[in-house]
Amino acid sequence: MSWETVIGLEVHVQLATRSKIFSGSSTAFGAEPNTQASAVDLAMPGTLPVANEQAFRYAIMFGLAVNAEIGKTSVFERKNYFYPDLPKGYQTTQLEKPIVGPGWVDIQRKDDSHKKVRIHHAHLEEDAGKSLHDTFFDTSGRGMSGIDLNRAGTPLIEIVSEPDMSSAEEAVAFAKKLHSIVTSLGICDGNMSQGSMRFDVNISVRKPGQPLGTRTETKNLNSFKFMEEAIALEVERQIDILEDGGNIIQETRLYNGDTKTARSMRSKEEANDYRYFPCPDLLPVVIDDDTIDQLRRNLPELPDARHNRFMTDYGLSDYDAAVLGDEAQMAHYFEAAAKVSSDAKLTANWIMGELSARLNSSDLDIGQCPVSADYLGRMVLRIKDGTISTKMAKDVLQAMWDGEGDPDTIIDKRGLKQVSDSGAIEALVAEVIASSPAQVDNYRSADDSKRPKMLGYFVGQIMKASKGQANPQQVNEILLKKLDELL
Amino acid sequence: MHNKTLAELSAGLASGEFSSVELTRHFLARIAKLDSVYNSFITVTADQALKTAAAADAKRSAGNSVHPLCGVPIAHKDIFCTEGVRTSCASKMLDNFVPPYNATVVENFIRAGAVVLGKTNMDEFAMGSSNETSWYGPVKNPWDINTVPGGSSGGSAAAIAARLTPAATATDTGGSIRQPAALCGISGLKPTYGRVSRWGMIAFASSLDQGGPLARTAEDLALMMNVMASFDSKDSTCLDLDVPDYSAGLTNSLKGLRIGVPKEYFGEGLNPGTASAVAEALREYEKLGATLIDISLPHSGLSVPAYYVIAPAEASANLSRFDGVRYGYRCEDPKDLNDLYMRSRAEGFGDEVKRRILVGAYCLSAGYYDAYYNKAQQVRRLIKQDFVSAFEEVDLILGPTCPNPAFEFGAKGDNPVAMYLEDIYTISTNLAGLPGMSIPCGFVDNKPVGLQIVGNYFDEVRMLNAAHQYQQVTDWHNRAPKEIV
């Protein structure tokens, strides 16, 4: 009998507010350590938190996007534990009364089937700072740990799913869907390498029909790839243990993406008693219906709606609509390019084909693409109007990728213009027919059904003579006409 | 000069009877001469005080219109952060802490032009009712130096009683303004929760802490409140309400004032001498035209146990930031992170602070939260409801501030519960968030007795009016300890 995998996710999403959740410090990434930490962030004595209204708006937008109830009364609590990157000795978070109640999202598997994944709740909280190990050294050369509190107080929403996923594929699809939602809403920059989204994965296995098995939690995964690898590894580990007659220990684990290994961080027995209680420095926040309605009315287009629109408006397939429509930046790129080219289908093919291949091999995402949507759209326009052939367009794309400018300049500079002058093509056709008497004879004596196959030779010769610049469609038409005249 | 009230000093400065520099020098000289006995100051800021005084004099002589407290000396309890001046909270933990910012209360006094003589002694982190828990040693009560001045604002209260400052800031979490006011024979006001900004006031129990003034008279408290009360967007629990002129209603008549007298405040444990002094004060109020109405606050008896769950619970989290990592005391040569945490806190905090952190952490821990913290919050709501019901019938509630006059040092040293019971009449107003004050109303064995006045939310003007009218027909507030001349 096979094993069934049960997966639940906890996702930390950094909100794209300009200032921190309880202080006026900037949240920008990458500043010199501790330059974006105020007296509040340092938890100096007597300092007090003031909640950031924009963080609430963003959290409510997320709740609305995942079909959730919005908590009308939202309460912050203190989660107590000691750690150097937690200046107050407690994290201000939510427990009993979170801002976002139960909701759900729809995920699509690779076989195009769909599944609903329930969200238990999402709550607002503050991020911790960062410990920097062995980056400083004392006079005897001993490594010391430093603390950077720039990140401390960055607003987060923690999204907690129900254990509704039963494979790494589904977990990744759910994670990607959340990424797509928060970036489409504009409430998170989605930059996973900078820690803007981080995933904790709860995993257990069981025989079908059995109660839930003991779970482990693998913490702080910051890429979809690592998440997929970590789940596969953990599922295999648990099944091995159980099949050998062992027991799973409830524990927190860490996955190392470089070595592709995981290790235990702490067991349940070592877990903290966090002694949560309502934060007396922050009064309960009451969200009125008007605020919720206003945010609902102004919600940006969500990935599912966009997906459907791409299918109906642009005639894209379900798959193409998913590739182009699920991620906000990609969707904006596609729509901007398609608007310039007025040919959504052709534009979609170029983005999903040539452009994506280049992005993948250079490990770039669409936001870092060196070719602007406008240039790509203009290039497609030149294919459509016959100025360049598909083959030429590949050269134009390469040139644009290399930063040589807009497509028209490149076409001019490289003399890539396709010959569409029928007189010039007729002359080329006549020339090739005249210099290929044997092939013309064969053509004439051949069966009707065999003739189309014989055209290739003539087309090849004509294109060669035109140095590849003749419009292939015109070449075909004129060649057929001329050969027919000889019959 | 030191026997004048804040109002008289303000008038003297305005009339040119003396300058702020003269006044400041006089008080600084008294502190230098006498405070080795009372130990009421932790830090004296003489240079800064004289600089501010000179600036105030220059401003006055230039003919500028100035705030009534411009050039008037005061002192701050060492719980209010003062930029560039050590703010210790009377703890070894913060003996080296110099804040880079001012508390809003401190900022308000700077704007008024008041002269700050220094930072007053207190119980460590405001935890105590006797001032015996200070890292800088106990404060002596000027009425009898063998007795405690009360706490936690004992330094502010003793300094005023000894005429080392005419007024001082203080804080009150369970009685820390009113109890020392009572024991030192002066006046004190704990405003409604949310009236005075807590920004820069080192937190003990955030939902209970409230800053307020100590002075000799109700009139002086009103002058202090005019500076201390303000809306502050940096404190989310501060209420955005207009600040009234607290001096405006002082002279109103008390005719028709309905005074509630809770039977629970006159039961077992109340010193008979205190009881008769308070009874005498109530008769005085009747003479002033007020009506006495017997009321009941049925849940009063639960206030001490509820308080000693909620306050330590909040304190256990509030004091976690003192970890030896970023500022404050750090143990020598920590072996590792846990050693750094454990020894810095074990060596930096005193026994009472540790006791409350332990009690608080226990009350919040898994399996005990409902039985302690949640239950205490329920009791808190009942206590508040008692007051809300009472204020439907009465305007003010009067009774004793504390059950006994000042006790001797060490008298309750090995019995924390006996110490906690000293706050039995004051704690419930903090739990309800109501304003309360204490004014002198007599003596037991030459030790001052305090009369407590509890008002409805934001009804400080009426409380000050009632206190001021009483002080027009009595002279308890003008009495000074024998040694003070």
The pLDDT profile of chain A, 487 residues, written as one tens digit per residue, is: 689 999 999 999 999 999 999 999 999 888 899 999 999 999 999 999 999 999 999 999 999 999 999 999 999 999 999 999 999 999 999 999 999 999 999 998 888 899 999 999 999 999 999 988 877 788 888 888 889 999 999 999 999 999 999 999 999 999 999 999 999 999 999 999 899 999 999 999 999 999 999 999 999 999 999 999 999 999 999 999 999 999 999 999 999 999 999 999 888 777 789 999 999 999 999 999 999 999 999 999 999 999 999 999 999 998 899 889 888 889 999 999 999 999 999 999 999 999 999 999 988 889 889 999 999 999 999 998 888 888 889 989 999 999 999 998 898 888 777 766 777 888 888 888 888 888 888 888 888 888 888 888 888 888 888 777 788 788 888 888 888 887 7
Instruction: Compute how many other C-beta atoms are within 10 angstroms of the C-beta atom of residue A66.
Output: 21
Q: Distance between CA atoms of B113 and B94, rounded to whole angstroms?
A: 28
Q: What per-residue confidence (pLDDT) applies to B365? A: 95
Provide the shortest C-alpha distance from residue B339 to chain A (in Å): 12
pTM for the complete prediction? Answer: 0.90
* Residue B316 clears pLDDT 90, i.e. is over it: yes
Judge: B316–A275 Cβ closer than 8 Å, yes or no. yes
Do A129 and A234 sit in the same domain of this protein?
yes
Residue B437 has φ and ψ, to the nearest 5°, of -140, 165
Contact residues on chain B for A146, CB-CB shorter than 8 A: none
Backbone phi, psi, residue B115, to 5°: -95, 125
Residues B188, B438: contact at Cβ < 8 Å?
yes
Of A47, A90, A281, the CB nearest to B320: A90
Same domain, A397 and A286: no
Residue the block writes with tokens 């937008």? A61
Residues A256 and A320 in one domain: no
CB contact under 8 A, B317 and A90: yes
Q: How far is CA A296 from CA A59, A70, A287, B235, in A?
A: 12, 11, 13, 31
Last residue of a domain, one of A249, A272, A293: A293
For residue B420, the number of C-alpha atoms closer than 13 Å in the C-beta half-sphere is: 19
> What's the rounded Cα separation, in Å, for the pair A92 and A277?
10
User: In angstroms, what separates the C-alpha of A402 from chain B's closest C-alpha?
Assistant: 50
CA distance A279 to A283: 8
Q: What is the pLDDT of residues B117-147, one digit of tens each?
A: 999 999 999 999 999 999 999 999 999 999 9
Give B201's contacts in chain A (Cβ within 8 Å): 46
Do the beta carbons of residue B39 and residue B140 sit within 8 Å?
yes
Range B1-485 has CATH code 3.90.1300.10: yes
Residue-wise pLDDT for B195-245, tens only, equals 999 999 999 999 999 999 999 999 999 999 999 999 999 999 999 999 999
Q: In angstroms, what separates the C-alpha of A284 from chain B's closest C-alpha?
A: 10
List the single residue in A42, A50, A276 with the smallest CB-CB distance to B236. Answer: A50
CB–CB of B202 and A82 under 8 A? no
ipTM: 0.96
**Mutation for testing the A interface, residue in B88, B169, B234, B343 having most A CBs under 10 Å:** B234
Distance from CA of B383 to the nearest CA of A (A): 18
Least Cα separation, residue A179 to chain B (angstroms): 33
- Chain A residues near residue B103 by CB distance under 8 angstroms: 46
Q: Do B236 and A275 touch (CB under 8 A)?
A: no
pLDDT score recorded for residue A466: 79
DSSP sequence for B74-117? EEEETTB-BTTB---TT-GGGTT---SS--HHHHHHHHHT-EEE
Sign of CA dihedral A296, A300, A302, A305: positive
Tally of residues, chain B: 485
CATH number at residue A431: 1.10.10.410
For residue B485, what pLDDT band results from cuts at 50, 70 and 90? Answer: low
Q: Going by C-beta distance under 8 Å and a sequence separation of 6 or more, which residues neighbour residue A273? A: B365, B366
Q: Of A414, A432, A461, which marks where a domain is finished?
A: A414
Residues A191 and A313 in one domain: no
- Which residues, in sequence order, are bridge partners of residue A5? A205
- Assess whether A22 and A38 both reside in one domain: yes
Could you list the beta-strand ranges (E) of B186-326.
Answer: 187-190, 210-215, 258-262, 291-295
The residue extents of the domains of chain B are 1-485
Identify the helix (H) or strand (E) that includes residue B43. strand B41-44
The residues facing B261 across adjacent strands are: B294
Q: What phi-psi label fits residue A272: left (phi over 0), alpha (psi between -120 and 50 degrees) or beta? A: beta
A431 and A471 in a single domain? The answer is yes
Mutation to test the A interface, candidates B78, B88, B104, B236, most A Cβ within 10 Å:
B236
Q: How many CB atoms lie within 10 A of CB A311?
A: 16
Q: Cis before residue B152, ω within 30 degrees of 0? A: yes
Domain that holds residue A441: 422-486
Give burial (CB, 10 Å; 0-12/13-18/19+) of B326.
Answer: middle
Dist. CA A8–CA B482, nearest whole Å: 75
- Average pLDDT rounded to a whole number, residues B292-318: 97
Q: Could you give the angle at the alpha carbon of A247 between the alpha carbons of A243 and A251, nearest 5°?
A: 125
Those residues whose C-beta lies under 8 Å from the C-beta of residue B263, and which sit 6 or more positions away, are B294, B295, B296
Q: Tens of pLDDT along B416-468?
A: 888 888 889 999 999 999 999 999 999 999 999 999 999 999 999 999 999 99
Contact yes or no for A46 and B99 at CB 8 A: yes
Q: Indicate if A147 and A172 belong to the same structural domain.
A: yes
End-to-end Cα, chain B, rounded Å:
11
Looking at CA atoms only, how far is residue B238 from chain A in angstroms?
A: 10
Give A88's contacts in chain B (Cβ within 8 Å). 317, 320-321
Contacts of A280 in chain B (CB under 8 A): 205-207, 237, 314
Check whether residue A173 and residue A41 sit in a common domain.
yes
Provide, as residue numbers in chain A, all residues whose Cβ is less than 8 Å from the Cβ of B87: 45-46
- Tell me what percent of the residues of chain B surpass a pLDDT of 70: 100
List of residues 6+ apart from A252 with CB closer than 8 A: A216, A217, A218, A219, A264, A265, A266, A267, A271
**Does A114 share its domain with A172?**
yes
Name the domain count of chain A: 3
Q: Which residue of B has its CA nearest to A277?
A: B364
Q: Characterize B211-225 residue by residue with b for buried, 16 or more Cβ atoms within 10 angstroms of its Cβ, and e for exposed.
A: bbbbbbbbbbbbbbb
For residue B231, the tally of other CB atoms under 10 A from its CB is 15
Whether residues A161 and A279 fall in one domain: yes
What tokens were used for B203? 């937190």
Q: Does A48 sit within 8 Å of B327, measured CB to CB?
A: no
Q: How many CB pairs under 8 A join A and B?
A: 100
Residues in chain A within 8 Å Cβ distance of B325? 84, 87, 147
E strand segments, B229-337: 258-262, 291-295
Domain boundary among A293, A322, A353: A293
Taking an 8 Å Cβ-Cβ cutoff, which residues of chain B contact chain A?
80-81, 87, 89, 94, 97, 99-101, 103, 198-203, 205-207, 233-237, 313-314, 316-317, 319-323, 325-327, 337, 341, 361, 364-366, 369, 373
Which pLDDT value is given to residue A142?
Answer: 80
- Cβ neighbours of residue A449 closer than 8 Å, sequence gap 6 or more: none
Distance (Å, rounded) from C-alpha B394 to C-alpha B292? 9
Give CA–CA dist A229/A409, Å, rounded. Answer: 46
Q: What six digits make up the tokens of A69?
A: 């109830």
For chain B, the average pLDDT equals 96
Catalytic residue numbers of B read 77, 152, 176
Strand partners, A204: A6
Alpha helix ranges (H) inside A282-317 = 289-297, 303-314
Same domain, A224 and A86: yes
